[in-house]
Structure 1
Amino acid sequence: MVGPLEERFRTVRDLLPEYRVETTKGRIVVNESGTWQHNTILSQLLFQIVGAAAERGWEIWPNITVHLGQHADRFVPDLAVVPRFPRMAEEHAVLGDSTLLLVDVVSAGSTYDDYYVKPNGYAPAGVPLYLVVDPFRRSVRLHSEPGGGKYGRETEANAGEPLFLPPPWGFALDTGKLLGADE
């Protein structure tokens, strides 16, 4: 059974396909495409993870809804890394526990959602790794070890400090390159 919020979400998503449309705590959030700084961070991240993803046959998706449960929010991260054949809830929605890494770059209007709302939605859905890149704080936070409805571990690195991605990744991100500290 599709509820009123889900119906409105689908309508807005269909009307605005060029935007990222999410539901967050009972509200529909429409995010514009990222700035050049936002996209530069994503590009630098892609340069660092694409080799590992390609070697393992994983896919990197820039625009997919993450299904967190039947009546849960619907988030659209900036990037999602998934196995070759992830389990899908719908054509446009991957199941949270069928992801390998979700990434959001903080924008002026997304700070609260990226730091607090999304981790509390992703952990119960079994999302193994959620990475938050914050150009304002010049830091990167990794949420890992989901269990009991929350993440068991949060690791933060400032620009220039390495941030280790646990297995199945098994390497450190260069946060200096992500946040422009190497310039």
Structure 2
Amino acid sequence: MIRPVEERYRTVRELFPELRIELVNGRIVVNDTGTWQHNTIIAQVLFQLVPVVAERGWEVWPNITVFLGDEADRYVPDLTVVPQNPVMESDEAVRGDSTLLLVDVVAAGNAYDDHVVKPMGYAPAGVPLYLVIDPFQRVVKLHSEPGPGGYARETAEPVGAPLLLPDPWHHLIDTGRLLDV
């Protein structure tokens, strides 16, 4: 049986297919298109990830829902990195445990969701790495080692400090290039 909020969520997605529509803590969230600063940060992340992604045959998807479970929220991160042939829940949703990295850039209205709500939803679904880039606090956080109660590890670095993405990446992110462009 589909929950009433799930029905409303699907209706909103059908009405506005060009927007990023999420179901966060039972709320339907319609995300604005990003500002030039938001998009510049995403581009800088891509520039640093693409060599590893291309070498390993992975893919970067900028607009896909992450399936977290039947009764769970539906999030759409700014970037989703998946292996070849990821497990899909539907044409529009990849299973959380079939991702390699999710990336969100904090916008003015979604800081709490990105820092608190989403890590608590992603970890039980098996999302291995969740990277949050916060241009307001000038910090980059990497959530790793997911489990049923949340992520066991959170690494926070100020902008300018390097951030190592663990296995299967083994790749260093230059956080200064993300915000100081």
Q: TM-score, normalised by structure 2?
A: 0.98
Q: In the TM superposition, what is the alpha-carbon distance from 1:49 to its structure 2 partner?
A: 0.3
Alignment-derived partner of residue 71 in structure 1? 71
Q: In the TM superposition, what is the alpha-carbon distance from 1:91 to its structure 2 partner?
A: 0.5
- Read off the aligned partner of 2:159 and give its amino acid letter: A
2:172 is equivalent to residue 176 of structure 1: no
Q: In the TM superposition, what is the alpha-carbon distance from 1:32 to its structure 2 partner?
A: 0.9
Cα deviation 1:93-144 (Å, max 9, x = unaligned): 0000000000000000010000000000000000000000000011100000
2:40 is equivalent to residue 40 of structure 1: yes
Structure 1: gaps (5+ residues): none
Runs ≥4 in structure 1, deviation > 3 angstroms?
none
- Read off the aligned partner of 1:148 and give its amino acid letter: P
Cα deviation 1:29-52 (Å, max 9, x = unaligned): 000110000000000000000010
2:21 is equivalent to residue 21 of structure 1: yes
Cα deviation 1:9-36 (Å, max 9, x = unaligned): 1110111111110001111000011000
- Read off the aligned partner of 2:129 and give its amino acid letter: L
Q: Distance in 2 between matches of 1:79 and 1:156?
A: 19
Q: Distance in 2 between matches of 1:97 and 1:173?
A: 23
2:112 is equivalent to residue 96 of structure 1: no
- Read off the aligned partner of 1:174 and give its amino acid letter: D
What secondary structure is seen at the aligned counterpart in 2 of 1:173? strand
What secondary structure is seen at the aligned counterpart in 2 of 1:12? helix
2:82 is equivalent to residue 58 of structure 1: no
Percent identity among equivalent residues?
Answer: 66
How many residue pairs align between the two structures?
Answer: 181
- Read off the aligned partner of 2:147 and give its amino acid letter: G
Structure 2: gaps (5+ residues): none
Q: Distance in 1 between matches of 2:85 and 2:149?
A: 25
What does residue range 127-138 of structure 1 map to in structure 2 within 5 Å?
Answer: 127-138=127-138
What secondary structure is seen at the aligned counterpart in 1 of 2:108? coil
What does residue range 113-128 of structure 1 map to in structure 2 within 5 Å?
Answer: 113-128=113-128
What secondary structure is seen at the aligned counterpart in 1 of 2:6? helix
Cα deviation 1:51-88 (Å, max 9, x = unaligned): 10011110000000000000100000000000111101
Alignment-derived partner of residue 49 in structure 1? 49
- Read off the aligned partner of 2:34 and give its amino acid letter: G
Alpha carbon RMSD of aligned pairs, Å? 0.8
Q: Distance in 2 between matches of 1:16 and 1:154?
A: 34
What does residue range 2-21 of structure 1 map to in structure 2 within 5 Å?
Answer: 2-21=2-21
- Read off the aligned partner of 1:84 and give its amino acid letter: Q
